[in-house]
Structure 1
Amino acid sequence: MNTVPFEMLACPLDGGPLHRESKTLRCAAGHSFDVARQGYVNLLPVQKKRSKDPGDSKVMVAARQRFLEAGFYQPIADAVTTATLEGAEATGTLSCLDAGCGEGYYLRQLSGANAPAVLQALGLDISKWAVQSAARLDKRGTWVVGSNANLPVLPETLDRVLCLFGFPVYPEFARVLRPGGRLVQVDASQNHLRELREIVYPEVRAEPRKVSPVPDGFRRIETRDVRFTVHLDRAELIADLLAMTPHLYRASAEGRAKAAELQDLSVTVDVCLQTFERYAPAG
């Protein structure tokens, strides 16, 4: 796909359209936001931060980048790309936000799809380290530090929103999607990384399969499971997998030490992909 920047950004302070002037984005009220040298823009006001450095750390971002670029989650990327392009016009423009984009892996995979449409790509994450990495790796789209709770996007300007292992804020997703636009959501299922969890936790409880209820303003289009096994044959790969997940911080020191001793591990990847369509304007 031919990938271009997404330009329908909104000021995070007053919601007005942002216009680019050289290296600055500015709204009519005079609020301005500089484009960093890496090519991204920070649209997360200080007063909307819950901590000084929110989101994934630099270490987590680097670990996830190494792991994903090695191709271990390629089946998930393929399923996301298929679901994103489903129902889209064969030609024309497809505007897509990855809400919680991390280092941009899934948007880059979508950009590489063999499709004649033009992709207006917007990657947003609350972690500045993730967005910095994404902007360095791909100069074609638009990369923004921001929050799903206050998306800096003008209403009804997106055809697709991706929320992959993230934190969905459905009223915001409904606001920025056009009627007929779609939300593609991926969440961990009950057996996701079970073998790793059994190592780092003293007990892993059996949980029922979780399927999200249909959000207000949406209807369900598809629910599918994506399951496969990956074999990690080096301690470094196991360490990267642990470091890119919340389990690194939730596990005890003993659990982390047990994981550090592993030289190889076969682990189950088990996720649920859901597609929702926005059928009515928000509100």
Structure 2
Amino acid sequence: MDTLQPFHALCCPLDQQPLLANEQGWSCPQGHQFDRAKQGYVHLLPVQRKRSRDPGDSKDMVQARKRFLEAGYYQPVASTLAQLVHQHLKQAEQDQPAYLDAGCGEGYYLQQFIEHTQNQGTREAGEASCTLLGLDISKWAMQVAARRSRQVQWVVASNAALPAPANSFDVISSVFGFPMYEEFARVLKPHGLLLVIEPGPEHLHELRQIIYPELTEQEAQKEPNRGPFTVASTTPIRFQCLVQSTEHILDLLAMTPHVHRITPEAHARLSGLSELQITVDMRCQLLTLTE
């Protein structure tokens, strides 16, 4: 499965008709045209589906996450995800399996999957190629992601209204995103797999202690409503790492919701650190459609 190609079975976000590629971008039979950005992505988020003027992560947040992730701190997370996705796609019985990274951000995890797949050796005779779709609601994230690889179809869109037909994907991943389970169920193939990576109770405990000095032990996590999905297995991802510069510590802060709640005093404490030991505590849940 070392042949990776962009996913092309896109749908018009206005009338759900199939989109066809043209020189400028994509268009549907009703004449709706969506131009391709100079970076290579296509914008399929209609104004009426925007909840703000500039939805999703800001330009600064995207750049902070790019710097932090490319420093390798979350490499074990990327490796676990890439292995699980690759394993399931190899087992897929479809002629051309498809993978959607829903809420892909600046494309780090998709790039890691591509590198993992290419490192698996030569393609076996008769083995199917795979199509890839990276989707995020932030245009700033897409501008960075689209520069990573031309083996991916990069799209600005919402998880609440995915621009793809029903039964399109063998694997969908959502990493620290906003999973929309009913919509994921619509576009997932009957025997497809949904991978959701979420923070555990001890995730970034050391960072939170600095931001919230009165931090108390967190309550046990309540299992969210997964809608039409059943949890098939849970893989814990837990390790410690040393964040080795002030810039990366502040980048980590910018990746979290805490950046909106931190006090000036706590920000000054973080800014005075040259390194910070952190606990990474996540869980990767594999979900299948309930029969």
TM superposition score normalised by structure 2? 0.91
Is 1:96 the counterpart of 2:99? The answer is yes
| Stretch deviating more after TM superposition (172-181 or 14-23) | 14-23
Partner of 2:82: 81
Partner of 2:108: 105
Contact 1:187 1:271 survives alignment (8 Å): yes
Q: Map Cα deviations across residues 112-142 of structure 1 (whole Å, 9 max, x no partner).
A: 1234453311111111000110001222211
Alpha-carbon deviation of 1:278?
2.3
| Stretch deviating more after TM superposition (241-250 or 103-112) | 241-250
Partner of 2:31: 30
Which secondary structure does the structure 2 equivalent of 1:224 belong to?
strand
Which secondary structure does the structure 2 equivalent of 1:137 belong to?
coil
CA distance in 2, matches of 1:279, 1:44: 30
Contact 1:189 1:209 survives alignment (8 Å): no
Alpha-carbon deviation of 1:90?
5.3
- Structure 1: which amino acid aligns with 2:129? V
| Stretch deviating more after TM superposition (199-208 or 233-242) | 199-208
Partner of 1:159: 170
Which secondary structure does the structure 2 equivalent of 1:89 belong to?
helix
Contact 1:122 1:143 survives alignment (8 Å): yes
| Stretch deviating more after TM superposition (190-199 or 78-87) | 78-87
Alpha-carbon deviation of 1:214?
6.2
Sort the Cα spacing of 1:29 and 1:205 in 2 relative to 1 into closer, same or farther, 3 A: farther
Partner of 1:8: 9
CA distance in 2, matches of 1:89, 1:233: 37
Q: Map Cα deviations across residues 32-85 of structure 1 (whole Å, 9 max, x no partner).
A: 100011000110011111111111111111111111111110100111112212
Contact 1:98 1:162 survives alignment (8 Å): yes
- Structure 1: which amino acid aligns with 2:6? P
Alpha-carbon deviation of 1:30?
1.4
CA distance in 1, matches of 2:223, 2:9: 29
Contact 2:231 2:288 survives alignment (8 Å): yes
CA distance in 2, matches of 1:76, 1:2: 24
Q: After superposition, where does 1:244-283 map in structure 2 within 5 Å?
A: 244-279=255-290
Alpha-carbon deviation of 1:196?
0.5
Contact 1:111 1:119 survives alignment (8 Å): no
Q: After superposition, where does 1:75-224 map in structure 2 within 5 Å?
A: 75-89=76-90, 93-113=96-116, 114-115=119-120, 116=123, 118-210=129-221, 212-213=223-224, 215-224=226-235
Partner of 2:62: 61
Alpha-carbon deviation of 1:89?
2.9
Contact 1:178 1:278 survives alignment (8 Å): no
- Structure 1: which amino acid aligns with 2:21? R
Alpha-carbon deviation of 1:208?
3.9
Alpha-carbon deviation of 1:154?
1.1
CA distance in 1, matches of 2:146, 2:256: 22
Alpha-carbon deviation of 1:279?
4.6
Give the paired residue count.
Answer: 280
Q: Map Cα deviations across residues 135-193 of structure 1 (whole Å, 9 max, x no partner).
A: 01222211011111111111111111110000010000000001001100000111111
TM superposition score normalised by structure 1? 0.94
CA distance in 2, matches of 1:178, 1:124: 18
Contact 1:83 1:275 survives alignment (8 Å): no
Contact 2:138 2:156 survives alignment (8 Å): yes
Partner of 2:22: 21
- Structure 2: which amino acid aligns with 1:110? F
CA distance in 1, matches of 2:100, 2:161: 14
CA distance in 2, matches of 1:48, 1:84: 30
Alpha-carbon deviation of 1:215?
2.3
Contact 1:201 1:252 survives alignment (8 Å): no
The RMSD of aligned alpha carbons is 1.6
| Identical-residue share of aligned pairs (%) | 46
Contact 1:214 1:276 survives alignment (8 Å): no
